Amino acid sequence: LGNKSDPDIEEISIANSKGFSTNYSNKYLEEIKAIPSEVKEEEILNRLDLRDEEIFTIDSKYTKDMDDALSLKILPNGNFLLGVHIANVSHYVKRNSEIFNDAINRGTSVYMANSVIPMLHFVLSNGICSLNPEVDRLAKSCIMEITPKGKVIDYEIKDSVINSKKKMTYEEVNMILEDGIIPPGYEPYIQTLLNLNKLTSILSKNREKEGYIEFASNEIKVITDSANNPIEFRKIHQGPAEKMVEYSMVLANEVVASHIYWMELPFVYRIHGAPDQYKVEDTMDLLHELGYRLDMLNNISSPHLLQQVLKQLSVKEEYQALSSLFLRTMSKAKYSVDNIGHFALGLDCYTHFTSPIRRAPDLLVHTLLDMYENSNINNIDFEKLEEKLKEHCNHASYKERQADIAEMEVNKLRMVQYMENHIGDTFMGRILEIYPNEVNIITEDNIYAVVPIEYIAGNNIRYNSSSKSLRGCNASYYIGNKVESRVLAVSKEDRKVICSIEKNLSIKNKPKVKTLKLN
């Protein structure tokens, strides 16, 4: 893999242990050589030419593999014309080529603290496939006409050619929308960004009506210094810029999924089933034990009631811990040829179309769109195609889980590296989980730690299974409690930060009753 003292070698080692490699076959590299580094005139023929349109990307300032770009106009009738323009990866990565098969096998890119193992070689992911500014790029554009009430009344999905006018960053767009500060170079785009923010607000309200469930975010960005040492663990900020991209992508994914669903053709759907009724009931019982009084959720097949509970809990300082309780009742979203809808989004039809550089299912979706658009439908063996798609969906779902584990393990590694220099220091934290032998906490600096039960302050501490709490003669501990903890040690092998709990900073006894009313 490399020298063990190299800064990123441990990250790469973790990724390799989960099946993600930086190696490419000779055949793969030969195929890359045949792919042009710029768009040729003959490739533009018969495409929707949008090069003169105001199209831009919004990404992290560090992003080099840009899948998606946006455009927005206000039509004479007052409707919005939203364009979601996605890198046309399937034009370059043909079905059954070495690059295609390799991407399907990898399943996804893996993004870690200071490394990325891309699904596509960086020559493609950062080059001809990336929607870089001020260069021609091939795209698949989903262009939607949306009423002021947020209803899509017309759309088209077209192969296009675009020329992004600007690479915007989340940070700078948020400066405009949150602080009213206009960074240099953004002046021509202010009205478009304001209109897009207005549309996002409309879409957001509609999503809420449909039952969209918003859990507390636990996504952490590791900040390192010039020597690659971790110096900060920052929660990912969900500002207006991030939401504009998110809601635009969700809408495009929904439109593309519905487009093929009603054609009754084999497809790749992103599905999410309803949570297990018994798990939800257990969680509701636990909330009662923690002092919350609310009605039982009788119709868990609808996301609306769970949505209401989380919305009311969101104002509590212990929300992240409480949200995690419900998150554990949910099934994992996955890929499937059988469309059962997406419970957490409250959608009947959904897919992943918007990240073909980073995710294999999106590349499959683009490949299927090409096939259905350009092939004689009667010549397609649908039964064989569907069986193959089932295999791809199962594999993609597995690789997604492996990538999540790898990214989580890398974050744990970075936390251990950081806390190694803080042994003996005291931190404020909050209890996330309580087990018979240990407690899991998260510090105010967003670092996860484990507290063995013998290092918890109090006499005769015992585990109570009904409330998943710890109770003793002179101290009690509940999920969500704020605590003062001390770093005792770190374990590099297990990637664990080991702490003690010195004091419970929340109320000493069982929480007072907090009534939540469901509409």
Question: Do residues 84 and 194 make contact, with C-beta atoms less than 8 angstroms apart?
Answer: no
- Predicted TM-score (pTM) of this structure: 0.92
What's the pLDDT at 319? 86
Average pLDDT, 10 consecutive residues per value, the chain (519 residues): 58 90 94 96 95 97 94 98 98 97 97 85 96 98 98 98 98 96 97 98 93 82 85 89 97 98 97 88 82 65 78 83 87 96 94 98 98 87 97 98 94 95 96 95 95 92 91 90 96 94 76 48
DSSP label of 176: I
H or E stretch covering 105? helix 98-106
DSSP label of 127: I
What's the pLDDT at 254? 98
Question: Do residues 50 and 140 make contact, with C-beta atoms less than 8 angstroms apart?
Answer: no
Q: How far apart are CA 379 and CA 83, in angstroms?
A: 32
* Buried-exposed string 336-371: b where 16+ CB fall within 10 A, e elsewhere: bbebebbbbbbbebbbbbbbbbbbbbbbbbbbbbbb
444: how many CB neighbours lie within 10 A of its CB? 10
Q: What six digits make up the tokens of 204?
A: 């957001």
Strand partners, 110: 117
Q: How far apart are CA 434 and CA 268, in angstroms?
A: 39
User: Among candidates 444, 410, 459, 272, which has minimal Cα distance to 351?
Assistant: 272
Question: Do residues 89 and 366 make contact, with C-beta atoms less than 8 angstroms apart?
Answer: yes
What's the pLDDT at 265? 96
Q: How many angstroms separate the Cα of 268 from the Cα of each of 99, 143, 406, 434, 516?
A: 20, 21, 25, 39, 39
H or E stretch covering 438? strand 438-443
CA 442, 208, 361, 54 dihedral sign is negative
135: how many CB neighbours lie within 10 A of its CB? 14
What's the pLDDT at 295? 60
3-state per-residue secondary structure call for 305-339: HHHHHHHHHCCCCCHHHHHHHHHCCCCCCEEECCC
Q: How many angstroms separate the Cα of 293 from the Cα of each of 182, 290, 514, 515, 517?
A: 46, 9, 6, 5, 8
Q: How many angstroms separate the Cα of 62 from the Cα of each of 66, 114, 118, 174, 235?
A: 10, 11, 15, 16, 17
Question: Do residues 378 and 83 make contact, with C-beta atoms less than 8 angstroms apart?
Answer: no
DSSP label of 455: G
Cα dihedral 440, 443, 445, 449, rounded to 10, equals: -40
Q: How far is it between the farthest Cα atoms of the chain?
A: 80
CA 177, 178, 180, 181 dihedral sign is negative
Q: How many Å separate Cα 231 from the centre of its chain?
A: 23
Count CA atoms within 13 Å of residue 341 on its CB side. 14
